[in-house]
Homo-oligomer: A and B are copies of this chain.
Amino acid sequence: MLLPDGLRTPALVVDLDRLEVNLARMAAGAAAGGFALRPHAKTHKCLQVGSRQLAAGAVGLTVATVAEAEVFAEICDDLFIAYPLWADAARGARLRALRDRVRLSVGVDSADGAAALARHVGPGLDVLVEIDSGHHRTGVAPEQAGEVAAAAARAGLAVRGVFTFPGHSYAPGAGAPAAHDEAHALAAAAAALHAVGLDALIRSGGSTPSIGHIAAGTVTEARPGVYVFGDAQQIELGAMGADQVALAAVGTVVHRGPEKVVLDAGSKVLGADRPAWAAGFGYVPAHPEARVIALAEHHATLRWPGELPSLGSPLAVVPNHVCNAVNLADELLLTRAGRVIEVWPVAARGANT
A residues near B (Cβ < 8 Å) are 6, 8-11, 42, 64-65, 83-86, 88, 90-91, 109-110, 112-113, 116, 136-139, 167, 252-256, 262, 264-265, 267-269, 271-274, 294, 296-299, 301, 311-312, 321, 323-324, 327-330, 350, 352-353
Contacts and interface: CB of A to CB of B under 8 A. Distances in A.
A324 B273 CA distance: 12
Given A272-B324, A324-B272, A85 B267 contact: no
A238 to B, nearest CB: 22
Minimum-distance CB pairs A-B, first 6: A272-B272, A138-B255, A272-B273, A64-B298, A86-B312, A112-B311
B252 A296 contact: no
B8 A90 contact: yes
Nearest to A329: B350
Nearest to A255: B138
Contacts of A272: 271-274, 321, 324
A64 B90 CA distance: 38
A106 to B, nearest CB: 12
Nearest to A139: B255
Contacts of A274: 272
A10 B86 CA distance: 12
B255 A110 contact: yes
Contact of A86 (B112, B252, B329): B252
Question: Most chain-B CB neighbours within 10 Å: which of A116, A262, A268?
Answer: A268
Nearest to A165: B296
B255 A109 contact: yes
A84 B254 contact: yes
A271 B324 CA distance: 9
Contact of A113 (B86, B254, B265, B350): B254
Given A86-B253, A109-B255, A312-B116, A327 B268 contact: yes
A347 to B, nearest CB: 14
A12 to B, nearest CB: 10
A113 B321 CA distance: 32
